[in-house]
Structure 1
């Protein structure tokens, strides 16, 4: 039974058997989230929370992505025209917090790319099921932004400082590593997706079905590299992280050299703000993380690097961004702290 929550052609809602099934239907745009999709998903969660016919919610994406993030070109164009699209993010963050509170099983079936806003509509649910095609990343520091949509809550809680590593590099993770650190709760083979969906809709028994389909997959990263990630990224400051990487890079370590080079190509402001955001997120509730991220967001939309990062990545594709300030030393602690200052009457209302 199809239902309409106002998402138009961009997102589909159906009740199939015991399940509320959500399908993101913008495959050409890698299912990037629009304001319409955010509002519709929030409305569906509201409706299905109180509907006894829906025992679980299943979310999937059409095509080769689950969801590659938010549709940020609108934000870019608005910013260039002197307007700030704060509203889209406020609605998205409210929906992320709503999902984290959702009392029923919420299964994200991830068969392909999941980044940024896609992590926001999957990581806060009860189950993240990934296939061998899954690619997970929070690549925001590469576009002068920060890992929002609850990144401060999710990434700060991954073991072995793996979330800090993901946040500060933007590096991509495959399903074995995702399973090893808890970003994925289960792994399955891509060819068994339809059988899994059929079993969910028929029985409504989430854990029993998942245990039947779960494929045990080893991590892609070896134990020595996991240990190196923890050693470098558990340091007490961003400067110490970089010094730790630099020392091992100079001693000939390939992983440290590559990781350091990646970080040094990212926005210095983003790196400093992100380090503080993830560090603080570890001690905050999901709602407080979202309030903190909304404060940071407002300042990012007033800044330079976010627009420059989008220009380089999406407008003049493949060009090198020119960050301002250009170096980490030029980003003062006071400048970083200003991103986290209260917004007064403009705080995120949850």
Structure 2
């Protein structure tokens, strides 16, 4: 049986290739377990100076998580979803706190769970095929895996726009937003990997930066440079209705498109996402991971938009979800209340 995680040491680099290309390398429990084991082993291995992660198949770095399993677990009342999220958020935290350079080659679709195993690392290298997004409001979910940590820390209201609309960023926009740290053209990425594997990497990271610079290219101009003012004006504040009203009143084509996109998303997911991102702006990463698990588990309740979103997008693929009404403010707040002590998020140290 082929391993879904190909972890090996090459020179002074710990190499991980996500090996589930038929599913665009979407994460399942086996992959989470394999990533955690490799990173913990290499964290204590002085011969490993950096970690490089990529995805097999050329189309996707990692397109998300095992959404179907999560929905089935929730419907059956099982523990699989809770364990998956707990372990996934432990992995995200391990990457965020990793003491060595962690280089994610996000040359391909990078969404949801794929964002969680890339954006928290020290280096995120975009390529020509990069498509970066947090599209969870379109399936009745929320931008978890630390989305409520990194999205509010992007420039202006860029993160709120991304979290609510699921906006997709290509390479230049990913760099402009700050979710990518470097750009290396797709046809140079194999050479980049070879250079990293053969290099004598140093503790201060200077050799790593030299290698990245030597393989870099020009990603072109970002649309975000022109859209920043529109994004900041539309997505300010704490009221979803006010955001929609500003978009409607703006009178330009971009704003009209964003309003149409927002209106297609789960109203409850948008309300919860808005609250999560505003709260996350004032929390450290571990506190956000605790918040993520609370919200994720509460979105598994019977009748949740999550099941309708999974039906429409994953199972029937009609892309015509019938969302429930938006939650009342007090019900949104209830999503953030701590879980039972034994169900709360734990960490690996």
Please give the TM-score of this superposition, normalised by the length of structure 2: 0.94
Residue 342 (structure 2) pairs with residue 323 (structure 1): no
Superposed CA deviations along residues 100-126 of structure 1, whole A, max 9, x for unmatched, are 100100000111100000000000000
- The counterpart of 2:69, out of the listed 63, 70, 74, is 74
- The counterpart of 2:41, out of the listed 38, 43, 47, is 47
Q: 2: CA distance between counterparts of 1:101 and 1:222? A: 29
Unaligned 5+ runs, structure 2: 202-206
Match of 1:95 in 2: 91
Superposed CA deviations along residues 39-82 of structure 1, whole A, max 9, x for unmatched, are 11111111101101111000000111000000111112222334
Match of 1:26 in 2: 20
Superposed CA deviations along residues 304-331 of structure 1, whole A, max 9, x for unmatched, are 1111100000111124111112xx4xx2
CA contact under 8 A between 2:176 and 2:222: conserved in structure 1?
no
Residue 228 (structure 1) shift = 0.4
Unaligned 5+ runs, structure 1: 1-6
Other structure's SS at 1:108 match: strand
CA contact under 8 A between 2:71 and 2:300: conserved in structure 1?
no
Superposition CA RMSD, Å: 1.4
Number of equivalences: 337
Match of 2:344 in 1: 347
Q: How does 1:1-350 map to 2 (within 5 A)?
A: 9-63=3-57, 64-83=59-78, 85-203=81-199, 204=201, 205-221=207-223, 223-248=225-250, 251=251, 253-303=252-302, 304-325=304-325, 328=326, 331-345=327-341, 346-350=343-347
Q: 1: CA distance between counterparts of 2:340 and 2:239? A: 29
Q: 1: CA distance between counterparts of 2:224 and 2:55? A: 30
Q: 2: CA distance between counterparts of 1:222 and 1:306? A: 30
The list of structure 1 runs, each at least 4 consecutive aligned residues, that deviate by more than 4 angstroms after superposition, is none
Q: 2: CA distance between counterparts of 1:18 and 1:272? A: 46
Other structure's SS at 2:99 match: coil
Residue 186 (structure 1) shift = 0.2
